[in-house]
Amino acid sequence: MNFKVSHVALVLIAALCIGLASCTEDLFVTPKVYGRITGKIVDNATKKPLSDVLIKLNPSGRSFQTDTSGNFAFDSLVVGKYTISTEKKGLYNEYVTVEVTEDQNPVVTIYMSEDLKSNRPPTKPTNPIPAVGGAVAGINNVLLSWTASDPDRDTLTYDVYLFKSGGSPTTPYITNFTNDSLIVNNLEYDKTYYWQVVAKDGRESVFSEVWTFTTPKFPSLSYVFTRSTGGNYQIYAANDDNTIVKLTSEGSNWRPIVSPNREQIAFISNRSTSLHIYVINLDGTGLRKITTVPIAGLMALDLSFSWANNGSRIIYPSNNKLYSIATDGTGLTEIARAANGRQYAGCNWNDATKTVVARTTGETVYDNELELIYSSGFKETILTSSRRVGNPVLSIDGGEVLFSMDINEFRNEAGRQIDARIFELYLNDKSLHDLSASATGGSNGLQKPAGSNDLDPRYSPNGQNIIFTNVLNDDASVPSLYVTELNNGRERNKIVTNAEMGYWRQQ
C-alpha cells in the first residue's frame, strides 16, 4: 500500500515539473520593435520645399501629404525595409527605399524634378494691338495688348521685347509681366517699332510673331525752352501748355538756341561733368558734342552763346576768352579776350554786320558791360551797369541790341533780381528804351506784374516779335514764357507755363 502511494506521487511530481517548464518557456517571448521615418521633399531646380506632395509608404499602405515646409513623417513602423513614393502634378514620381532598424530612424530628403512631358505649353500670343504695321497717335501712353492662354490653367507671365528699326531685341522692355496689356512711354517720333511677347507658364516659353507699328512724324512746334524737372534742367518744344515734347533727358541741359536754318538746336549741358555745348536735331535726335574747351563763366545758368557764319560756327565764352568753333568740333579760334579782371558771360553774332555783341562781368553778376566786337577786332563798350544785366542779342539788321536789366538797386550773393525789364538799345544814338514799361494788357489781360522780372528776351526770326520769360521775384515761383509784338502796343501773351530761356523753333 505504501509503495503504490509513492509511485503515484512520483508521477504527479513529474507531471508538475513538465507543466512548470512549459509555463516558463511562454514568459520569455521576444517583443516587436517599432521606429519612424521622417523627411522633406525639395524642388530639384529651386531647392525650395514642396508642399502638397502625396507620400506613399509600402508595405504599410499608409500615405501622407507634405506641409508648407515640405515635411512628412510616418510613426509606429515595425523595423524593416520600406519604399517611399512621391507624387505631384507636373513633377516626376520619385521612389526611395529606406530601412528602419532597432537603432536607426531614417531621415530622408527627396528631390523632385519637373516632368516636362506632363505640361501643356501656353498658346502662342496673338491679336496684337496696335495691328501689325499700324500707326499710333503719339509717343506716350501707347497701348500694347495681346491674347494668350494656358490649357493647364497655369498662371502666365510675359516678357515683352520692344525695339526700334535697326535696334537690338536682346534686352526685354519688361519681364515677368502679369497682364496681357502694357502702356509704353517716351517713344521717338517717325520711327518703326518692333515688338514681341513671350508667354511663360513657369515651365515652357512660347514666342509670338514679331509685330510692328509706326509713330507719328514730329509735330510742328513753334518754341523751344528750358524747364526745371526733378532738380535738373531739360529742353522741351511746344506750341502751348497742351503740346509739349521733351527733347533731352540726360544730365542738366539749358539755353536752347535754334540754328539759322531752323534745323538744329544747340544748348549747354553738364552731361560730361564740365559744361559743353551740344547740338541735336529739331526732334531731339542726333546728339553730338561741339566744344572742346568748356563753356565757362561766373554763373553757369547765366551763360549764353551764339550761332555764327550762317550756322557753320558757334561763338561762346570761356572765362576771359571768347571762342569760335566749327559745328563739327574743329577749328577752335580765340576771337576776343576780356579786360583784366573781367570774363565773358554771353554773346550774339549778327550775320548782316559781321559783329558780335558780348557781355562781360567783373567780380559779381551786378558788374556788367556790353561791348561790340567788330570783324577787325576793335571793341566798343556800349553799356556799363552796376545792376544785373542779361545777355544781349542783336536785331536782324544789327542796329539794335535787346537785353534785360534790373532797374532796382537790390544786391545779394545769389544775384537776385527785383524788377528786371526788357530794354532795346539803339546803336545809332545809344538811346535806351524800356519795352516792359510801355507794354499794354494783352489778350490774357496782363501787364508786367508788379514784383516780377522780364528775362531772356529774343527776337523772332522775322524781327517783329519778342519771346521772353516772366517770373515773380520771390525766387520760388514758376516762370512762364510770353510773346509780345515789338510794335503795335506790345501785348503780352502767355504761351507756356513752367518754362524759361525760350527761343523760336520756327515761324
Which pLDDT score, from 0 to 100, does residue 7 have?
Answer: 44
Mean pLDDT of the chain: 90
**Integer CA distances (angstroms), 223 to 53, 197, 233, 485, in order:** 67, 39, 16, 16
Architecture of domain 34-118: Sandwich (2.60)
- Mean pLDDT value across residues 86-91: 89
Residue, of 242 and 14, whose pLDDT is higher: 242
**Considering only CA atoms, which of 354, 504, 490 is closest in space to residue 422?**
490
Query: Concatenated DSSP letters for 276-287?
Result: EEEEEETTS-S-
Three cell numbers, residue 282: 529739331
Question: Residue 126, Cβ neighbours under 10 Å: how many?
Answer: 12
Instruction: Please determine whether the domains at 126-214 and 223-504 fall in the same fold group of CATH.
Output: no
Domain limits, the chain: 34-118, 126-214, 223-504
Which pLDDT score, from 0 to 100, does residue 30 have?
Answer: 60
Q: At 12, is the secondary structure helix, strand, or coil?
A: helix
| φ/ψ of residue 22, rounded to 5 | -65, -40
- CA 486 from centre of chain: 41
Rounded distance, CA 460 to CA 495, Å?
14
Residue type, 88: K
Three cell numbers, residue 169: 531685341
State the DSSP H helix or E strand holding residue 71, giving kind and residue range, or none if neither.
strand 71-78
Rounded distance, CA 223 to CA 244, Å?
10
pLDDT tens digits for range 227-236: 998 889 999 9
| φ/ψ of residue 26, rounded to 5 | -70, -30
Given a cut of 70, whether residue 24 has pLDDT beyond it is: no
Exposure of 455 in the CB half-sphere (CA atoms within 13 A): 24
| φ/ψ of residue 184, rounded to 5 | -115, 150
pLDDT tens digits for range 95-146: 999 999 988 899 999 999 888 777 889 999 999 999 999 999 999 999 999 9
Rounded distance, CA 407 to CA 422, Å?
10
Rounded distance, CA 106 to CA 75, Å?
11
Angle CA(487)–CA(492)–CA(494) in degrees, nearest 5? 140
Rounded distance, CA 466 to CA 1, Å?
160
Question: Residue 251, Cβ neighbours under 10 Å: how many?
Answer: 14
Which pLDDT score, from 0 to 100, does residue 387 have?
Answer: 95
Confidence of residue 5 (pLDDT cuts 50, 70, 90): very low
The residues with which 107 forms a beta bridge, in sequence order, are 38
Q: Per 3-state DSSP, what percentage of the chain is helix, strand, and coil (rounded to 5)?
A: 5, 50, 45
39 with 2: CB under 8 angstroms?
Answer: no
Rounded distance, CA 49 to CA 88, Å?
13
Which pLDDT score, from 0 to 100, does residue 60 have?
Answer: 86
- Mean pLDDT value across residues 58-74: 93
Share of the chain above pLDDT 70, in %: 92
304's CB contacts (< 8 A; 6+ apart) are 255, 257, 345, 346, 347, 348, 391
Specify the range with the lowest mean pLDDT, choosing from 54-68, 163-177, 249-263, 337-351: 163-177
322 with 379: CB under 8 angstroms?
Answer: no
User: Does the reported pTM lie above 0.85?
Assistant: no
Residue type, 242: N
- Mean pLDDT value across residues 433-442: 70
Q: What is the dihedral of CA 88, 93, 97, 101, to 10 degrees?
A: 0
Share of the chain above pLDDT 90, in %: 77
| φ/ψ of residue 4, rounded to 5 | -65, -40
pLDDT tens digits for range 385-431: 999 999 999 999 999 999 999 999 999 998 999 999 999 999 999 99
Matching residue, cell 524634378: 113
**Considering only CA atoms, which of 338, 339, 390, 348 is closest in space to residue 365?**
390
Rounded distance, CA 469 to CA 478, Å?
10
The residues with which 160 forms a beta bridge, in sequence order, are 174, 197
Pick the CATH number of 223-504 from 2.120.10.30, 3.40.1260.10, 2.60.120.10, 2.40.50.140: 2.120.10.30
150's CB contacts (< 8 A; 6+ apart) are 120, 121, 122, 123, 156, 199, 201
| φ/ψ of residue 113, rounded to 5 | -115, 155
Rounded distance, CA 60 to CA 74, Å?
10
Pairing label, strands 34-43, 107-112: parallel
pLDDT tens digits for range 178-226: 999 999 998 989 999 999 999 999 889 999 999 999 999 999 999 999 9
Which pLDDT score, from 0 to 100, does residue 28 have?
Answer: 52
Matching residue, cell 537690338: 168
Domain 126-214 falls under CATH 3.20.20.60: no
Confidence of residue 1 (pLDDT cuts 50, 70, 90): very low
Which pLDDT score, from 0 to 100, does residue 437 have?
Answer: 80
Three cell numbers, residue 443: 489778350
Rounded distance, CA 249 to CA 236, Å?
10
